[in-house]
């Protein structure tokens, strides 16, 4: 079963615009990670935020975490065509061992 739900399911923007994706999850977590997947390929890790952190930056990526609302957001600034991919949030659950539980994903399309 999926732990998280991403919103929106699909997003289409113009190159240079910012893209924001949201993730909601159901149960208490240790950390939350975001991954990107290009069509037909494996997933690539983007960023990890721990449950005691509220915001984290990596290059053009900004991730926020609100544990009281059980939600996270991923912001990609100044998007490029190469950012076109599916983006997934994934959580490690409190008491859930070491496995990552993935959400349903947001399909991002960045048009020239």
What residues line the site for another protein (CB under 8 A)? 1-2, 4, 30-31, 33, 35, 40-45, 48, 50, 88, 90, 92, 97-105
Q: How far apart are CA 100 and CA 17, in angstroms?
A: 30
Q: Which is nearer to another protein, 84 or 101 (CB)?
A: 101
DSSP tag of 53: -
> Which bin fits 46, alpha (ψ -120 to 50), beta or left (φ > 0)?
alpha
Q: Which is nearer to another protein, 13 or 48 (CB)?
A: 48
CB of 105 to another protein, least distance (A): 5
């Amino acid at each position: 079963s999926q732990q998280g739900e991403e919103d929106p399911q699909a997003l289409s923007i113009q190159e240079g615009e910012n893209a924001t994706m949201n993730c909601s999850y159901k149960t208490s977590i240790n950390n939350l990670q975001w991954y990107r997947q290009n069509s037909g390929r494996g997933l690539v890790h983007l960023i990890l935020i721990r449950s005691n952190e509220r915001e984290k930056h990596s290059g053009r990526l900004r991730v926020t975490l609100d544990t009281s609302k059980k939600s996270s957001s991923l912001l990609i600034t100044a998007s490029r065509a190469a950012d076109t991919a599916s983006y997934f949030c994934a959580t490690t659950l409190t008491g859930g061992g070491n496995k990552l539980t993935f959400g349903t994903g947001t399909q991002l399309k960045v048009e020239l």
